[in-house]
Structure 1
Amino acid sequence: MNADGRTTSPYAVFTLLDLELPALAPVKGALSQARQDDALTELHRYLTSRSTPGWRAEDSRKQQHIDYIQQYCADELEVVMKTADEVMEQTFLFRFPWDMERSRIPVTFVEEIDWRYIPDKDVEWAYMLNRHRYWVALGQAYAITGNEEYARTFCCQLEDWMDRNPVPDMPTNDTLTWRTIEAGLRCANWIKALSYIQDSPLLTPTLLAKVMISLHEHSEYLALSFTGWKNISNWGVLETCGLFQTALYFPEFTRAKIWRRLGEERLGETARIQVMADGIQWEQSPTYHHEVLVCFLDCIRLARMNGLELQDELQQKVHQMAVASLYWAKPNHRQPMLGDSDDSDVRSILTYAGWLFQDSVLRFGGYDHMDYDNAWLFGTSGVEGYEQLIAEEPPYLSRSFTHSGHYVMRMGWDEQDLYLYFHCGPLGGGHGHADLLHFDLHAFGRDMLTDLGRYNYSDHTPLRKALKESAAHNTTTVDGIGFTEITDTWSFSQIAKPVGSKWISNPDFDYVEGSHDGYRHLDDPVHLLRRIIFIKPYYWLLVDSFSCRQEHTFSQHFHFAPGAVQMEDETFICRTNNEQEANLCIIPVNVKGLQGKIDDGVISREYNLLEPNQHAVYSRTGKGKVSMIQMLYPQPSGEPFCPLVEQVPIYRHTGEPVDAVQAEACRISFPERNEEHIIVISHEVPSSHLDSYVVEGIQIFGEVVLIVFANGQKKVTVIR
């Protein structure tokens, strides 16, 4: 249908095709005799019987493929079949793991589907409805069962959508059905679904011609819509992926070569511009990093299937993105919920990239056996080949991504190992949060400290803005003021910028520091610094310091994963209270003048999902130089006691005591191991002989120094 309401004849498809192609000779012959219906039949016969181009691996061992899905992917198959059955009843619930905006409440249309329906004032639901990911489930259900009702539902809903949603005359975002991001995603999902449904007699020659006309309209719409903003946005990749796939899947279109060239150019440009030198997509959201990565992987795979190789530079960038995802992943294989991100498992993506690039290290981060989605993409031969690709442990444990400002401390690659993620990078646009100096902590198989997620994208929900605020992250604030000002769902005014990160990593410790300028605009500017030291394999020391002239109140925020949390009244030791499981102890070094409290809060690990959690805040009021130091000790299950932590006096080598505004030291005792650590933190860079301090009779010189007493031996390490 055209925008003016005129219905396009299915015969119009012939004007869009290169009828000089030898494969279309029967179509051309029928047209030359004015047998248009026969020409549609010939076109249908050709398209549904050709072996190339293809969208997925053709599987001659169909039953073996189905058997594998049922044996190794039963949980995913259950979700797909449930979704397909619901869609047959016109019930929609967006529940797939990588659905960008999942829903919690099913919506059923008793009469015709309202393609512009907005429940609970969240337009993202309408956008999800018009991306048609659920039609892929219908296609897979049909491929497994042969039940024509799945094909019937797909064909009926597809034709209804085409008839009632004409393409606009010009690209526009003032629409629920034809934003360019939806148009691109629709192309990919329609082609997937068609590849599963094409053998059904319900996909008639007339309907297939209408689908081709609509995909042609989609492609022209996308070809005309590109802007400089698209080059820097995930939108540019997602919509170009749809354009490129249509060009490859339907090379019979006379415009296909032009679309393919545009697609290749735009994929190369978006990768060059959006993917930073360390492999992380600039928008500072793991969810959108992975959405972009999967689109790139789809294009590379589809190109290879059809005898093409995309530019080396693009493929190298995409491989870098997958490597970044590997190191980003927590020991439970899930991405950090940085920015607008959910608590999503990345193994399917690493499985995809590992097999596509034949990379044993990426395969290490993937599933032991090829998962549901990839089994459909690569077929039985891919499943068998993946089993033969030997996993190789990554060459590094801890890793810095300095261009984008991400730092990962890791004790090992076991699911029980300790992990800390620290962020000191740029905002990343609308999907970014005020999360500078935020960190996640995961240990012994549990999230301990975490980002709170995104909840949804609706300005009608106050929580959306609240979850983007500084205080909603494991960072610091001054006088209760956020360092970046959030104005609405997508906009900011005052934006803090990262300053001066440093990273050191070796087998015994990791060290990171970072700062930002978010409080330098105050009438009395505040300069701050966060330092995190990982003393392997036991604990972290968190050091926050502030410098100003007038009095301010400085706060540290700690957001816990769901579960009970308690804080002692006098020591302010904060501890999770997970019985029979691992816990986290936060132990302040200096409680003089310190205030502490625990508040109730919420966490959103999926879009539209809320759970209760708790939030600890430590505060100290002062002027000049002020610091707060905590030991972060992950406590293994069954271990009854936390380490003993106490301040230690510091002296200059000339004998004078050192004021705490200049340097502080703490002793950490592990009685059960007969081991003791002393850590010295200088709040000023040592610059003269007078800055050579003495602690417990030991003379040192350095900004951060570790002294370990164990087994009757003493070891002094200058960390920084």
Structure 2
Amino acid sequence: MFTNLETYQSRFWLKEEFLKKIGKSSSGFLLELFSRVDALVDQDLVYYDHQMDMETCFEKYSFHEFKWHQTPNGDMEWIFMLNRQGYLVDLAVAFYITKEEKYLKKWKEIVFDFILENEKEISHPEASWRVLDAGIRLMNWVKSLTYLPLSKFSEVERKQIQEAMSLHVNYIRTHLQEKHLLSNWGVLAVSGVLSFVYFFDEQPELYLWAKETLLKQASLQFTKTGLHWEQSPLYHHQVVMCFAYLFQIACYMGDEDQHIWKEVLIEPIRASYYLSNSSHMLLALNDSDTVDFSWVHSYYHLLGFESECPEYTMGVLYSGRAFDKKHKVNFEDWFYDEVGGLAVVKSSDIYFSLFCGLHGSSHGHASLGAISLEMDGVHFMTHPGRYTYTECENRVRFKSERMQNTVLVEKGHYPSIENSWGYHWVAKPLSIQMKKEEALYYFEAQWSIPMKDNETSSRAYVSRKMILDTQAKLLLVIDEEESGHALAQNFIIPTKHSNDVYSRFWTNGEMVTEAIQYSKRYNSLDEGIQLKIRNKKDPIFTCIALEPYSVEKESIPRLDCPGEERGTKIKCKTKSGELTIYYSPEDIHNGLKYLKDSNGNIVYGRMVAEKNNQKIRFR
């Protein structure tokens, strides 16, 4: 009955001496895992703080008091997480490492309790049997079984487990909807089915249905460069991890499907490198969290893909004996997906991101033009996070324009966010560009918003242009609106010290700061500062740098029309370098068409940078 599982285990399990070495590891990941399982086994307490948990909860609640359909904190996501049963994998891994029977005993207790609860009919479908949660639970049952010695299960127990998994498969297939083709829900549900089929089911028709459905989902949900359409780094990984596990099973079982899943995974895993910084902390863009994904990247790496391997021991714990070798990987310092609307610069000392793409699913925020920036380990600005999925003021506020690192049009028809999953309107992305010249990166994003009651005839057109100097370690931001509407920049800064803000930001506008809260992880709040910059006269110039620096601003008049300003010169100096920018808001289409500053320097173009005595025209 479990023959394929036995074959898999014989090829997957690590040697005992290596498992003992892992058990003695001081890895924070492993310490957290044992903290969770010991709380569950010894105290009947459950909480969710795993890096891949979609909805974390750090408060500990009684498992038996609330299973399988009650929530102790008013958040239905808590009970959804309980029903996904990710802790079964933790329990199985804990037994795998320590051989302590208490972990296996608790695993059986939970699984057979759930089976009994649903033996006669599906129990609590609204809490326990959403198609998403059923698929995740099914894969967690399969995955956890690969770590447990099958000799510990009687024939009766094996039969009960397999029949219960078959119930999951039938339920998912009959409840999957067409809309799930374009949803992380669909991938998480159907990948659970196929993981079961690989080990337990010989039905060709079911196998073909699951595989073909997953391939349709992959083709719909990823861009050519590998970005997931829902615009959330966390959900990008949730989907990728499902395909990665199917690839892993196929490889261990010698199934030809491994080649199919490898092709699906190459670009999404490569793209995922740019969705976290050099410390492997996830980009909290839209509905996502700031969380350490070291083990996830290590897992991808050991499976043979282009990813880093900062946590070898934890990675191999999940990849197994056949995938225990490191390999060389090389990445460009920048990533640009025009279709997905994401531009990233990532190196050992700089992490920058710009988003201006289609809204994606309801996990998207009002984040067009939003940026993040880290230099030398200092977080200049961060995304607001999501905090919760319940209907409340913080949920709406964190999704709104006013909590994004972007620019707002004064008197624009804000807010666009109506509630946790609804919108009054959605801004229209028009374009995003990224160019690289030596140490300079140029970015441009354009989008439009309604000025009144979502009328298409009355819209504001916003343009954000930026130059990142990776040598001088500074960023220049230029924001303007086509019709000259007044603008306001917002930045969420993860510090409580306003002096840090005023020493790092220079602007031609008026700066105001206020204390705010933002969220690094679901169900947690953090203290920070919001910087607001207003300028009634468009455009706004803002320069950001870490070390002490100086900025000189010069208005450049038109030579043949005295009194008419045609451009602006910004000269920025840091200890590490110098950057000069010449900017003209529009083409000079008659008369003298060049700019000439007070030093006699002549330039042509709308955006020209001068660096190391060389001029570079970006526009």
| Fold equivalence (TM over 0.5) | yes
Partner in structure 2 of residue 282 of structure 1: 229
Which residues in structure 2 correspond to 1:154-173 (within 5 Å)? 154-166=107-119
2:45 maps to 91
Taking a change above 3 Å as real, the CA distance of residues 337 and 601 of structure 1, as seen in their structure-2 partners, is same
For the pair 1:490 / 2:421, whether they are aligned, the reply is yes
Aligned to 1:378: 319
- Letter of the structure 2 residue corresponding to residue 187 of structure 1: L
Partner of 1:51: 6
TM normalised by structure 1 equals: 0.80
Q: Matched residues in 1 for 2:527 and 2:411: separation?
A: 23
More deviation, 493-502/69-78: 69-78
Aligned counterpart, 1:478: 409
1:705 partner amino acid:
V
Mapping 1:138-217, distance limit 5 Å: 138-166=91-119, 175-199=126-150, 201=152, 203-217=153-167
Whole-Å separation in 2 of the counterparts to 1:400 and 1:238: 27
* Aligned match of 1:449: 381
Deviations 1:643-677 (A, max 9, x none): 22122131335473542xx422222244x67x654
- The partner residue of 1:664 within 549, 555, 568 is 568
Which of 459, 462, 467 in structure 2 is aligned with 1:525? 459
1:11 maps to: none
State the TM-score, normalized to the length of structure 2: 0.93
What one-letter code is carried by the residue in structure 1 that aligns with 2:312? M
Q: Residues 313 and 113 from structure 1, CA distance in 2 versus in 1: closer, same or farther, beyond 3 angstroms? A: same
Alpha-carbon offset, residue 484 of structure 1: 6.1
Deviations 1:259-300 (A, max 9, x none): 221221011111000011221000000000010000010111
Distance 1:700 1:232 in 2: 49
Paired residues for 1:565-584 under 5 Å: 565-566=498-499, 574-575=502-503
Q: Distance in 2 between matches of 1:653 and 1:676?
A: 27
1:706: Cα distance to partner? Answer: 2.0
Kindly indicate whether the alpha-carbon contact (under 8 Å) linking 2:247 and 2:258 is maintained by their aligned counterparts in 1: no
1:407 aligns with 2:347: no
5+ residue gaps in structure 2?
none
Secondary structure at the residue paired with 2:88? helix
Partner of 1:264, secondary structure, is: helix
Structure-2 residue corresponding to 1:40? none
Whole-angstrom CA distance in 1 between matches of 2:262 and 2:413 = 40
Displacement, 1:228? 1.9
Q: How far apart, in 2, do the equivalents of 1:533 and 1:57 lie?
A: 51
Secondary structure at 2:143 match in 1? helix
Q: What do the CA deviations read for 1:34-59 (whole angstroms, capped 9, x no partner)?
A: xxxxxxxxx5xxx379632x278433
1:238 corresponds to 2:188? yes
Task: Indicate the residue corresponding to 1:32 in structure 2.
Answer: none
C-alpha displacement of 1:689:
4.9
Residue number in structure 1 paired with 2:595: 693
Cα gap change, 1:477/1:703 in structure 2, threshold over 3 Å: closer, same or farther? same
Which has the larger Rg?
Answer: 1
Provide the residue aligned with 1:606 in structure 2.
521
Task: Answer whether contact 2:550 2:573 (CA < 8 A) is retained.
Answer: yes
The one-letter amino acid paired with 2:57 is: S
Secondary structure of 1:154 counterpart: helix
Check 1:234–1:634 CA distance in 2 against 1; reply closer, same or farther (3 A cut): same
Amino acid in the other structure paired with 1:370: Y
Is 2:64 the partner of 1:122?
A: no
Letter in 2 for 1:448: F
Separation in structure 2 between the aligned mates of residue 619 and residue 651 of structure 1, nearest angstrom: 24
- Alpha-carbon separation, structure 2, partners of 1:437 and 1:49: 50
Please say if 1:719 is aligned against 2:583.
no
The answer to whether the 8 A contact 2:517-2:527 is kept is yes
Structure 2 counterpart of 1:315, from 262, 277, 290? 262
2:552 — aligned with what? Answer: 646
Q: Go from structure 1 to structure 2 and tell me whether the alpha carbon gap of 1:313 and 1:440 turns closer, same or farther (over 3 Å shift).
A: same
Q: Work out whether residues 333 and 347 of structure 1, in 8 Å CA contact, stay in contact via their aligned partners in 2.
A: yes
After TM superposition, what 4+ stretches of structure 1 lie above 6 angstroms from structure 2? none
Distance 1:505 1:658, change over 3 A: farther
Instruction: Provide structure 1 residue ranges, at least 5 long, that are not aligned to the other structure.
Output: 1-42, 568-572, 576-584, 636-641
Q: How does 1:270-669 map to 2 (within 5 A)?
A: 270-310=217-257, 314-356=261-303, 358-359=304-305, 362-363=306-307, 365-367=308-310, 369-372=311-314, 374-383=315-324, 385-386=325-326, 389=327, 391-394=328-331, 396-410=332-346, 413-414=347-348, 417-459=349-391, 461-479=392-410, 481=412, 485-519=416-450, 521=454, 525-538=459-472, 539-548=474-483, 553-566=486-499, 574-575=502-503, 585-588=504-507, 590=508, 594-622=509-537, 626-635=538-547, 642-654=548-560, 656-659=562-565, 662-669=566-573
RMSD: 2.5
Quick one: which amino acid aligns to residue 502 of structure 2?
Answer: C
How far 1:156 moved relative to its partner? 1.6
CA distance in 1, matches of 2:411, 2:107: 53
Amino acid in structure 2 at the alignment position of 1:645: V
Shift in Å, 1:699 = 1.2
Paired residues of 1:173 and 1:179 also in contact (CA < 8 A):
no
Aligned-pair CA distance for 1:688? 4.1
Give 1:405 shift. 0.3
Q: State the secondary structure of the residue aligned to 2:172.
A: helix
CA distance in 1, matches of 2:65, 2:553: 71
Deviation per CA, 1:537-565, whole angstroms, max 9, x where unpaired? 1211100012337xx54210011113412
Contact 2:477/2:541 (CA < 8 Å) preserved in 1? yes
Alpha-carbon spacing, 1:602–1:57, altered in 2? closer, same or farther (3 Å):
farther
**Paired letter, 1:376:** L
* Shift, 1:419, TM fit: 2.2
